[in-house]
Amino acid sequence: MRTTLIAGNWKMHLLSEEARQLVRGILAGLARVPSERELLLIPPYVWLMPVAAQLRETSRVKLGGQDVHWEGEGAFTSAISASMLRDAGCEYVLVGHSERRHVFGDDARTLARKLRAALAGGLQAIYCVGEQLAQREAQETEAVLDRQLQEVLGGLGTEEMQRLTLAYEPVWAIGTGRTATPEIAQQAHAHLRRRLAEEFGEAVASQVRILYGGSVKPDNAAELLAQTDIDGALVGGASLAAESFLGIAMAGSGVS
Ligand code: PEP
């Protein structure tokens, strides 16, 4: 049984007081979110520790980092290690977000090293995959997803796979207001799960959560979350306001 995870990626947004107010708003509305839904906040690094302090009053909202370096420590200006993330209160970390791939140039080798460091460091990793618009139009979506899985997940063991979550984020849907239809998203998720089954076996594939990301909002979340292979959402823009994040967290659960 896969629990639904609703993750908010704040990217490079919010000053300290805004971050504090947002967490306060989420905590104030938490009782309305069904208990079987897990929430995750992924703030900029500088707000990890203050957010962790605010989250001490609940175990229902987890904390995650937006990226991780593959080394444990050293001369890597601006980078952050898995043990630092853990020390700051993180249980999760994103690896391979499309902005890391396309803005910062993280390639497959880099992402494979980051993923291994995250898992070896005891974190749950959310590995993001997704095709660009031209690739979808050229009907290359499945090939792109296969490559992104193979290049980075190859050789992982069953124990490591238990701490892996995938996020399918079509690049054309991130921050554009253009969401994949529930059918398009489900098709991609089902494809990813099939590939996981081929590579790691049915038992592993049926346990790995696959989140959808790309312009998820309170009014489209219910239909997306209702799909068989969609196990949660990775939310950017709509995670920056408590009401919209809570709205997504409650979507389709019968409460509003
Ligand atoms: C994201 O940051 O992963 C994302 C999906 O952003 P948005 O919800 O704004 O499209």
The CATH number of the domain where 227 resides is what? 3.20.20.70
Residue 255 lies in a domain: no
Q: Is 97 a catalytic residue?
A: yes
Mutate to test the pocket of ligand 1, among 99, 216, 239 (most ligand atoms within 8 A of CB): 216
Q: Which residues pair with 95 in a beta bridge?
A: 127
Among 80-94, 175-189, 193-207, the least confident range: 175-189
Among the options 69, 97, 131, 160, which is catalytic?
97
Tell me the residue range of the domain where 68 lies: 4-250
Asked whether residue 118 carries a pLDDT value surpassing 80, the answer given is yes
Cα 235 to ligand 1 centroid, rounded to whole Å: 5
pLDDT (tens digit per residue) in 46-103: 999 999 999 998 999 999 999 999 999 999 999 999 999 999 999 999 999 999 999 9
pLDDT mean over 181-202: 97
99 lines ligand 1 (CB under 6 A): no
Which among 5, 51, 4, 58 has a CA at the least distance from the CA of 28? Answer: 58
Asked whether residue 19 carries a pLDDT value surpassing 90, the answer given is yes
> pLDDT exceeding 70 applies to what percent of the chain?
99
Residue 256 lies in a domain: no
Residue 101 lies in a domain: yes
Residue 64 lies in a domain: yes
Q: Give how many domains the chain has, as a whole number.
A: 1
Q: Is 102 a catalytic residue?
A: no
Residue ID of nearest Cα to ligand 1 atom 6 = 236
**Which whole-number Å values give the CA distances from 159 to 32, 70, 163, 195, 203, in the listed order?**
34, 19, 7, 18, 12
Collapse the DSSP code of 170 into the 3-class scheme (helix H, G, I; strand E, B; otherwise coil) and give the result: coil
pLDDT at 253: 83
pTM assigned to the model: 0.96
Collapse the DSSP code of 5 into the 3-class scheme (helix H, G, I; strand E, B; otherwise coil) and give the result: strand
Cα 75 to ligand 1 centroid, rounded to whole Å: 31
